[in-house]
Structures are given as structure tokens and as C-alpha cells.
């Protein structure tokens, strides 16, 4: 069984400030981990994914995430928030190895204050 | 350039009136999914197809059915929509052979009057 916990359903940052969105996972086998972004009335778009290669993963739009096995975490960061980053962000997990079901977290809504 | 297309983007139906949502893909992916997403919640998997093999989630209501006539198309049928079925419905596809990403369509927002 696998699950993810996203801490903070709403996060507000000032434009130009650091963005930190937290995700902790639980998985009985080595996981694959994903971050998706969803803009209003749109589908989900992949930001980045961890697939057991490098633990620091760089994604689109300046986002990155670090896989920390000891902390069972996969937090999403961006050094400087932009107004266009305002959206909902979902962390997701699936077991590694072949086709497996993906489990999503409840999402974190990011607000960027000008 | 669109890879996963959903029609319509917005659908209004009446309580109890059957409705069909459609999804098509140009990625030639084996796996197609239907998710239900209610406001401020995570997407909830309803079912998926691995090629023609249909897999229903245990808690998906019988009111929801699906068809996949070929690789490119997949349909979600809601036989008797209730007010609780108002949601965004997301279609996604995934390739096989590794940790391939799920590609999502833009969704269909269903309103039940």
C-alpha cells in the first residue's frame, strides 16, 4: 500500500519568495514520486518525477524536488515565486516496477501575493 | 498538438438523465484512466483500461460505466447522474514499460441540475 501526505492545504508566499510545498510518502516498496500542477479548470500537468535515479530532480518552470529516503519526503521547492505559479499542486506516488496505480495527495493550493 | 482531448469541456445534465463524456488520445498509449475530482480534493480513480482489459475500482458506483472501442477513444457513461456526481472528470493516459508519466486531458466539468 502507498500513500502521500501533503502538509498544508493552502500556502501563501510573496512574489519573489521561496516556495516550499511539503510531501511525505508511505510505501512498502521503493516508490516513484511525482509532482503535478493544476490550474483552474484544467487537467494535471507533470512538473517533475523521481524514478530512483538522481535524488535531486529538476522540473519545469524552475521547480525542483529532493527525494529523502530517511525522511520519507519529496518536498517541492522554487527559489523565487512568480505570480504565474499560483495553482494547485499534487504530490503522487506509485510503486516502482511495471505498471502500478498512482495515488494522489489532497493537494496544496499556492497563493502568490504581489 | 493536443495529446489527450476531452469533450465537452463543460456538460450540464439533469438529475437522472444519462450523460456520456468522451476522451481521445494521440499518444497511442495502452493505459487509459478516468478520474473524478471534486472541489479541493485529490483525483479519485474510477477505473482504467490496460489495452482492452477493464479494471474497476472497488468503490466505483455501478452508476458509472466505461467503454473503450479502440486504443484512441474511451467513454465514461453516467447512467443516472445524481447531485453528488457533479465534479470534474479527468481522463489520463500512460505508456507502459517503466515509470511513464500520466498525461491528463483538460477535464470535463459536469453540472447536475
pLDDT tens-digit profile of A32-83? 899 999 998 888 999 999 987 788 999 999 999 999 999 999 999 999 999 9
Phi and psi at residue B26, to the nearest 5°: -110, 10
Structure confidence at residue A10 as a pLDDT band (50, 70, 90): very high
Chain A residues close to B109, C-beta within 8 Å: 41
Cβ distance A99 to B31 less than 8 Å, yes or no, reads yes
3-state DSSP assignment of residue A99? coil
Distance set, CA B45 to CA A49, A75, A88, B34, B96 (Å): 20, 24, 18, 6, 18
Q: Which of A16-20, A22-26, B20-24, B46-50 has the lowest mean pLDDT?
A: B46-50
pLDDT of residue A2: 83
Contact B89, B42 (CB under 8 A): no
Residue A101 has a pLDDT of 77
Position with higher pLDDT, A101 vs A72: A72
| DSSP β-bridge partners for residue A36 | A46, A90
Q: Does B5 touch chain A (CB under 8 A)?
A: no
Question: Are residues A43 and B40, on separate chains, in Cβ contact within 8 Å?
Answer: no
Question: How far is C-alpha B60 from the geometric centre of its chain's CA atoms?
Answer: 12
Query: What CA–CA distance (Å, rounded) separates B17 from A64?
Result: 45
Contact between residue A76 and residue A90 where contact means Cβ atoms under 8 Å apart: no
| Number of other residues whose CB lies within 10 A of the CB of residue A71 | 11
Could you give the 3-state DSSP secondary structure of residue A92?
A: strand
What is the average pLDDT across B47-69? 92
Amino acid at each position: 500500500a502507498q500513500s502521500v501526505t501533503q502538509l498544508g492545504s493552502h500556502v501563501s508566499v510573496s512574489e519573489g519568495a521561496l516556495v516550499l510545498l511539503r510531501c511525505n510518502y508511505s510505501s512498502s516498496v521503493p516508490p516513484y514520486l511525482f509532482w503535478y500542477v493544476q490550474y483552474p479548470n484544467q487537467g494535471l500537468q507533470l512538473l517533475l518525477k523521481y524514478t530512483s535515479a538522481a535524488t535531486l530532480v529538476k522540473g519545469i518552470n524552475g521547480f525542483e524536488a529532493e527525494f529523502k529516503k530517511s525522511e520519507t519526503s519529496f518536498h517541492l521547492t522554487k527559489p523565487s515565486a512568480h505570480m504565474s505559479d499560483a495553482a494547485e499542486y499534487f504530490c503522487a506516488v506509485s510503486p516502482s516496477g511495471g505498471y502500478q496505480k498512482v495515488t494522489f495527495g489532497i493537494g496544496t493550493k499556492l497563493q502568490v501575493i504581489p | 498538438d493536443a495529446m489527450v482531448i476531452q469533450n465537452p469541456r463543460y456538460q450540464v445534465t439533469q438529475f437522472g438523465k444519462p450523460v456520456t463524456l468522451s476522451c481521445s488520445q494521440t499518444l497511442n498509449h495502452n493505459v487509459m484512466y478516468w478520474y473524478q475530482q471534486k472541489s479541493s480534493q485529490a483525483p479519485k480513480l474510477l477505473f482504467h483500461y490496460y489495452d482492452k482489459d477493464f479494471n474497476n475500482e472497488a468503490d466505483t458506483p455501478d452508476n458509472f460505466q466505461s467503454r473503450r472501442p479502440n486504443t484512441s477513444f474511451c467513454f465514461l457513461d453516467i447512467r443516472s447522474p445524481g447531485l453528488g456526481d457533479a465534479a470534474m472528470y479527468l481522463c489520463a493516459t500512460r505508456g507502459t514499460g517503466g515509470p511513464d508519466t500520466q498525461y491528463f486531458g483538460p477535464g470535463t466539468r459536469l453540472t447536475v441540475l
